[in-house]
Amino acid sequence: MKLYNLPNEYKPLLDLKQTELAIKQIKETFQLNLSASLRLRRVTAPLFVLQGTGLNDDLNGYENAVSFPIQDMNGAVAEVVHSLAKWKRVTLAEYSIAHGYGIYTDMNAIRAHEELDNLHSLYVDQWDWERVINEEERTAEFLRNIVKDIYSAILHTEFTLSECYPQLKPSLPEKIEFIHSEELRRLYPDMTPKEREEAITKKYGAVFIIGIGGELGDGKPHDNRAPDYDDYSTPNEDGFYGLNGDLMIWSDVLGKAMELSSMGIRVDQKALLHQLEITGKEERKQLYFHKRLLEGSLPLSIGGGIGQSRLCMLLLKKAHIGEIQSSIWPEEMRKQCKGMNIPLI
């Protein structure tokens, strides 16, 4: 448990009532802009999936999902979702979504392994989205264009919010910058990956780091990714590897970088087999999701998750994610927050 350094005199710009109203406005405005820009239709998402199907996201590979036995299904085990990265791709196929269109949903998850701080909670809420693409669109340039569309939706939401609450002055940069994780490593060779993220995000204000999961020039990945959703191993037209990345935005309140979204072009059959092999996860080929992908019954796609509470926290210039969502916090953290004038919901 930890709290990041905060200004000595933090004062929320909105009271509790205004905050709740503003959260509603942000969520309604952003998802309308996101769905229109990316041509997404809303679908209903599961809170849990069956264990052993390969549908749940195993994140970095070591996190255990919250699970429980199902009494009326002979003790079959359900897992609370970590994210819907693979479920969405199956849903694209089940709904017969056409090329150039996609889906989005409200994803609610429990991540019991999280180390609690200003940005991390046991409860995770995201807009999870997925869109059908073709082979020609599996490029870094297409990825960048989608990221620009998402960032434009964020800017529009920020402006709309400021019209209702003048004290929330727009502060995000007009455009987002792009850099590959290998370029970032070469730029800051003596820093850790997290330190590099901080440095580049502070420099630009908003940046998308491409290539998360594959080995860099020093033999280490920038960060870990599960091998069976994002494609982090395919060479791209920029001369690097990977077709995925993280969207980072600088928080002036916290004085640090916030990861707002993780997204990317998803694995095709070749990339899936390669990434399962290099990570020693080849047994997954027998799971439901992986069988469907390998047999060709799932479309090529691009997708990701955008943190709802984090976006609200950023635009409302809040110091703690607990000012946006109701969750469980250690008593010591509650006392610290109270002493810093941070009202946890």
What CATH number does the domain containing 166 carry? 3.30.930.10
Query: Residue range 3-14: average pLDDT?
Result: 78
Residue-wise pLDDT tens digits, 210-248: 999 999 999 999 999 999 999 999 999 999 999 999 999
Query: Residue range 183-209: average pLDDT?
Result: 98
126 is catalytic: yes
pLDDT of 66: 86
Do 195 and 162 touch, CB atoms closer than 8 A?
no
Query: What residues make up the domain containing 94?
Result: 16-339
pLDDT of 60: 56
pLDDT of 18: 96
195 is catalytic: no
pLDDT of 62: 56
Active-site residue, selected from the candidate residues 83, 126, 301, 308: 126
Which position has the higher pLDDT, 209 or 75? Answer: 209
Assign residue 187 a region (left: φ > 0; alpha: ψ between -120 and 50; beta: otherwise).
alpha
Active-site residue, selected from the candidate residues 79, 83, 111, 310: 111
Amino acid (1-letter code) at residue 307 = G
pLDDT of 81: 86
Query: Residue range 34-53: average pLDDT?
Result: 94
Q: Is residue 4 assigned to a domain?
A: no
Active-site residue, selected from the candidate residues 31, 35, 57, 158: 57
Which stretches within 53-180 are classed as H helix?
85-94, 140-164
pLDDT band at 141 (very low <50, low <70, confident <90, very high): very high
Residue-wise pLDDT tens digits, 60-96: 555 678 889 998 998 899 998 887 989 999 999 999 9
In 161-217, the DSSP E strands lie at 177-180, 206-210
Q: What percent of the chain is predicted at pLDDT more than 70?
A: 96
Residue-wise pLDDT tens digits, 218-228: 999 999 999 99
Q: What percent of the chain is predicted at pLDDT more than 90?
A: 85
Query: Residue range 35-43: average pLDDT?
Result: 97
Active-site residue, selected from the candidate residues 262, 275, 308, 325: 262
Q: Is residue 161 assigned to a domain?
A: yes
pLDDT of 64: 78
Q: Is the pLDDT of residue 112 over 70?
A: yes
Q: Is the pLDDT of residue 4 over 90?
A: no
pLDDT of 225: 92
Q: Is the pLDDT of residue 2 over 80?
A: no
Active-site residue, selected from the candidate residues 137, 198, 228, 246: 246
Q: Is residue 9 assigned to a domain?
A: no
Q: How far is CA 97 from CA 88, 268, 339, in A?
A: 11, 17, 51
Taking all residues of the chain, what is their mean pLDDT, rounded to a whole number?
94
pLDDT of 7: 63
Q: Is residue 345 assigned to a domain?
A: no
pLDDT of 111: 86
Q: Is residue 166 assigned to a domain?
A: yes
Q: Is the pLDDT of residue 295 over 80?
A: yes
pLDDT of 223: 95
Do 133 and 290 touch, CB atoms closer than 8 A?
no
pLDDT band at 6 (very low <50, low <70, confident <90, very high): low
Active-site residue, selected from the candidate residues 149, 259, 327, 336: 259
pLDDT band at 59 (very low <50, low <70, confident <90, very high): low
Burial of 215: CB neighbours in 10 Å, binned 0-12, 13-18, 19+: middle
pLDDT of 56: 79
Q: Is the pLDDT of residue 166 over 70?
A: yes
pLDDT of 92: 98
Q: Is residue 1 assigned to a domain?
A: no
Query: Residue range 242-258: average pLDDT?
Result: 96
57 is catalytic: yes
259 is catalytic: yes
Q: Is the pLDDT of residue 279 over 80?
A: yes
Q: Is residue 3 assigned to a domain?
A: no
pLDDT of 63: 65
Rounded distance, CA 227 to CA 124, Å? 22
- Give the relative orientation of helices 308-315 and 16-38 as an angle to the nearest 10 degrees: 120
Q: Is residue 253 assigned to a domain?
A: yes
262 is catalytic: yes
Closest CA to 43 of 98, 101, 104, 113: 104
Total number of domains in the chain: 1
